[in-house]
């Protein structure tokens, strides 16, 4: 199925299902995906073959300049964003100057649109880096992926590049002491002939057990909304998502946001 890449460093604003009017920041290359996961549902498609693309990150000064110009334009038009969101063509925390860019963005937000929130959508794989953790602690919406409580399911859904250890991931998520939002994609279908479904009772129970351990500020659950690189995946109904959300609320007391 067709997928797409963000071809600009600053993109949007777009209407986000979860965040409102969102101005996006893509810290990855504008012509290719770069990620420590290769999720079977990623709207940006598959990672390019190793060594096939020369990685070129936007420079810190360029990001700051482009963001300042766009925020000034939006404020002058009385269309300030609800949120400034780090997303784009892969994993934003892989940028070597991620922490410094977060500081720049906080300063620009405070100067030009102080009511806007700053959000980062991350797959949680760079949380072993102290600078990344400290930067994420500064943002308003620190949104971190956890697609299952079962390691093998994560390996199928998220296709980690290199080693992945679920216990280490959970330990890293706990560093934020409730100053994080856990985001989970629910889907069903087939991938390379293997059935995948992280909505089963066993799957949901294992995932909720980790939520109890991590104790996030809240949880975001969602399902497919755009084309996916794997062609045999199925959207989960809003009714099923709401049933999962109710289990979370009843078991943990956590706030859950559902996007169908």
Count structural domains, the chain. Answer: 1
Quick check: is 220 in a domain?
Answer: yes
- Using CA atoms of 90, 96, 99, 100 in order, give the dihedral in degrees to the nearest 10: -120
pTM equals 0.94
Q: Using CA atoms, how far apart are residues 260 and 2, in angstroms rounded to an integer? A: 21
Q: What is the pLDDT of residue 2?
A: 53
First-to-last CA distance in the chain?
A: 20
Please give the Cα distance from 88 to 73 (Å, whole number).
21
By the 8 A CB rule, do 29 and 39 touch? no
7: number of Cβ within 10 Å: 11
218 located within any domain: yes
Q: Alpha-carbon distance 204 to 209, whole Å?
A: 9
Phi, psi of 16 (to 5 degrees): -90, 140
Helices (H), the chain: 60-76, 98-112, 130-136, 151-158, 166-173, 201-214, 238-252
Let me know if residue 184 belongs to a domain: yes
Backbone angles phi, psi at 188, to 5 degrees: -135, 165
List the pLDDT tens digit at each of the 260 positions of the chain.
456 888 899 999 988 776 788 999 999 999 899 999 999 999 999 999 887 778 899 999 999 999 999 999 999 999 999 999 999 999 999 999 999 999 999 999 999 999 999 999 999 999 999 999 999 999 999 999 999 999 999 999 999 998 999 999 999 999 999 999 999 999 999 999 999 999 999 999 999 999 999 999 999 999 999 899 999 999 999 999 999 999 999 999 999 999 97
> How many helices and strands (H and E) does the chain possess?
7, 11
Q: Is residue 166 part of a domain?
A: yes
Residue numbers of the domain that contains 150: 10-259
Query: Are 245 and 258 within 8 A, CB to CB?
Result: yes
- What pLDDT was estimated at residue 260? 77
Q: What is the CA radius of gyration of the chain?
A: 18
What's residue 208's pLDDT?
98
Question: What is the pLDDT at residue 16?
Answer: 77
Beta-bridge partner residues of 121: 143
Residue 96 belongs to a domain: yes
CATH number of the domain where residue 212 is located: 3.20.20.70
Cβ-contact 174, 214 below 8 angstroms:
yes
Structure tokens at 252: 């943990």
For residue 3, tell me if it sits in a domain. no
pLDDT at 4: 81
On whether residue 182 sits in a domain, the answer given is yes
User: Could you tell me if residue 54 is inside a domain?
Assistant: yes
CA distance 87 to 93: 10
């Amino acid at each position: 199925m067709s997928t797409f890449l963000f071809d600009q460093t600053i993109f949007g604003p777009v209407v986000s299902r979860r965040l409102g009017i969102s101005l996006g920041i893509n810290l990855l290359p504008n012509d290719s995906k770069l990620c420590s996961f290769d999720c079977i549902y990623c709207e940006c498609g598959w990672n390019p073959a190793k060594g096939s693309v020369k990685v070129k990150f936007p420079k810190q000064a360029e990001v700051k300049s482009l963001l300042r110009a766009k925020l000034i334009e939006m404020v002058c038009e009385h269309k300030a964003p609800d949120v400034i969101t780090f997303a784009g063509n892969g994993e934003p925390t892989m940028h070597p100057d991620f922490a410094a860019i977060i500081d720049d963005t906080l300063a620009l937000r405070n100067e030009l649109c102080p009511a806007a929130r700053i959000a980062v959508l991350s797959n949680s794989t760079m949380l072993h880096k102290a600078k990344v953790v400290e930067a994420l602690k500064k943002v308003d919406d620190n949104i971190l992926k956890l697609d299952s409580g079962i390691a093998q399911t994560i390996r199928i859904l998220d296709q980690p590049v290199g080693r992945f250890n679920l216990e280490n991931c959970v330990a890293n998520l706990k560093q934020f002491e409730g100053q994080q939002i856990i985001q989970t994609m629910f889907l069903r279908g087939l991938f390379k002939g293997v059935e995948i479904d992280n909505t089963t009772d066993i799957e949901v129970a294992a995932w909720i057990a980790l939520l109890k351990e991590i104790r996030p500020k809240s949880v975001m659950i969602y399902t497919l909304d755009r084309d996916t690189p794997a062609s045999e995946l199925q959207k989960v109904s809003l009714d099923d998502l709401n049933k999962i959300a109710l289990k979370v609320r009843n078991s943990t007391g956590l706030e859950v946001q559902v996007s169908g």
